[in-house]
Amino acid sequence: MAMKIPFIHHKQPQEALQIPGDGTPEHVAIIMDGNGRWAQKRGMTRAAGHKEGMSTVVKIVRAAVQSKVNILTLYTFSTENWKRPKAEVETILRLPKQFMKTYLPELIANNVRIEVIGDMGKLPIYTREAVQYAMDRTRKNDGLQLNFALNYGSRHEILRAMKEMLGDLQNEKLSLDDLDEQHFSSYLDTGGLKDPDLLIRTGGEKRLSNFLLWQLAYTEFWFSDVLWPDFSEQEFLQALDEYRQRKRRYGGI
């Protein structure tokens, strides 16, 4: 029997999060780009690159925990990725089960809580079951929140949020006088979470690729030419250090 978990909303209060005291970003988002190119350069299948990228995820999660980052959001599978070859898509969507089987005990030991953003309803049952199991097992953890963006697309998210908000307006659960940016944000998949402070993109590309378009309005960007499987803890820490040197003005002076 298929589970029905089409959308995940995060409503926990931001005040509960521990704020790093040394300028470390509270919320880091990463576009993990370059798995396929990494494999092709080595004469391997693109699927092999995605599998290799799993070990990089674990290394970066460890570094985030040690750096006291509160939230780490990883762009895992986009709504546009369905256009890729069927075999590659299937490989990517089977990775959560492999990942959790191998690394979930370590994540639990490190007090990591796993969440998902995106439209889960269209994903295969084996992907949803693996993710739901991980969320259930880590529900009570209060350390790093690890968000996997699965079948996620920001335009889709914003459109869905607008439809839900308009429904609440029509049903008089919400008035126009109540509506502001913060209220609208609560309808997004990331509702209740702080917007990312830092976005990292690997693989040499310099675009957002339909990722967290609303949430990244004032986020600091850090781009790396390194392909994701080769991205190291040291480079992650370098991105954090550079973030600490920047002055965020939010439109001021």
The residues that are catalytic are 33, 81
What is residue 178's three-state secondary structure? helix
Q: Label the pairing between strands 113-117 and 198-201.
A: unpaired
Report helix angle 86-109 to 46-66, nearest 10. 20
**Is residue 204 part of an annotated ligand binding site?**
no
Angle at 231 between CA 244 and CA 249, to 5 degrees: 25
**Is residue 82 part of an annotated ligand binding site?**
yes
Burial of 78 (0-12, 13-18, 19+ CB in 10 A): buried
**Is residue 222 part of an annotated ligand binding site?**
no
**Is residue 37 part of an annotated ligand binding site?**
yes
**Is residue 115 part of an annotated ligand binding site?**
no
**Is residue 33 part of an annotated ligand binding site?**
yes
Provide the 8-state DSSP code for 217: T
**Is residue 55 part of an annotated ligand binding site?**
no
Could you tell me the two tokens for 247?
Answer: 């002055």
**Is residue 244 part of an annotated ligand binding site?**
no
**Is residue 185 part of an annotated ligand binding site?**
no
What residues pair up with 238 in beta bridges, in sequence order? none
Annotated binding site: 33-38, 46, 50, 78-80, 82, 84, 201, 207-209, 220
- Binding-site residue positions for Mg(2+): 33, 220
Residue positions in the annotated binding site for substrate? 34-38, 46, 50, 78-80, 82, 84, 201, 207-209
